[in-house]
Structure 1
Amino acid sequence: MTTELLAVRGLAKAFGLSNVLEDVSFSVMPGEIVGLLGPNGSGKSTALNVISGFLPRSAGTITFAGRDISDAPVHAITDLGLVRTFQLPSMPHRMTVREVLKAGKRDDGGRFAPVAYGPEIDVLLQEFRLAHVAGHAASALSGGQKKLLSVATALRANPKLLCLDEPTAGVHVSLRSDLVGVLRNYVAQGGACLVVEHDMLFIRDLCTRCIVLDRGNIIADCLPGELENNPRVVEAYLGKAIEKGGMAQ
Structure 2
Amino acid sequence: MNAFLDIRQIAKAFGGNQVLEAVDVQITRGEIVGLLGPNGSGKSTLLNVITGFTPADAGTVFFDGQRIDRLAAHRIVQTGMARTFQLPSMPTRMSVMEVAMAAATAHHGVFGTLLGTAAARTTERAARDKAAHLLNELLLTPVRDLPASALSGGQKKLLGIVCALMAEPRMLLLDEPTAGVHPNLRRDIVAALQRLNAQGMTLVIVEHDMHFIREVCTRCVVLDRGHIVASCRPDQLASNERVLQAYLGSAGAHPLEASA
Q: TM-score, normalised by structure 2?
A: 0.86
Out of 134, 137, 140, the residue aligned to residue 147 of structure 2 is: 137
**Using the alignment, how far apart are the partners of 2:39 and 2:190 within structure 1?**
23
**Using the alignment, how far apart are the partners of 2:256 and 2:82 within structure 1?**
35
Out of 198, 208, 217, the residue aligned to residue 188 of structure 1 is: 198
Shift of 1:130: 2.4
Shift of 1:70: 1.5
**Using the alignment, how far apart are the partners of 1:66 and 1:116 within structure 2?**
30
Alignment of 1:148-167 (within 5 A): 148-167=158-177
Contact 1:128 1:178 in 2 (8 A): yes
Tell me which protein shows more helix as a share of its residues: 2
Q: Deviations over 1:3-33 (max 9, x none)?
A: 3111000001000111000110011111011
What is the DSSP-based 3-state SS (H/G/I as helix, E as strand, rest coil) of the residue aligned with 1:25?
strand
Superposition misfits of 4+ residues, deviation over 6 angstroms: none
Cα pair distance change 1:21/1:125, threshold 3 Å = same
Which of these two proteins has the greater Rg computed from alpha carbons?
2
**Using the alignment, how far apart are the partners of 1:12 and 1:117 within structure 2?**
38
| Count of residues in Structure 1 that have an aligned counterpart in Structure 2 | 245
Q: CA RMSD in A?
A: 2.2
What is the DSSP-based 3-state SS (H/G/I as helix, E as strand, rest coil) of the residue aligned with 1:54?
coil
- Say which is worse superposed, 90-99 or 46-55, in terms of deviation: 90-99
What is the DSSP-based 3-state SS (H/G/I as helix, E as strand, rest coil) of the residue aligned with 1:40?
coil
Aligned residue in 2 for 1:56: 55
**Using the alignment, how far apart are the partners of 2:153 and 2:188 within structure 1?**
17
What is the DSSP-based 3-state SS (H/G/I as helix, E as strand, rest coil) of the residue aligned with 1:154?
helix
The unaligned stretches of length 5 or more in structure 2 are 110-122
Aligned residue in 1 for 2:186: 176
The unaligned stretches of length 5 or more in structure 1 are none
Aligned-pair identity in percent equals 52
Shift of 1:175: 2.2
Alignment of 1:1-249 (within 5 A): 1=1, 3-105=2-104, 111=108, 114-115=124-125, 118=128, 120-238=130-248, 239=250, 240-243=252-255, 245-247=257-259
Contact 2:100 2:131 in 1 (8 A): yes
What is the DSSP-based 3-state SS (H/G/I as helix, E as strand, rest coil) of the residue aligned with 1:135?
coil
Q: TM-score, normalised by structure 1?
A: 0.90
- Say which is worse superposed, 172-181 or 122-131, in terms of deviation: 122-131
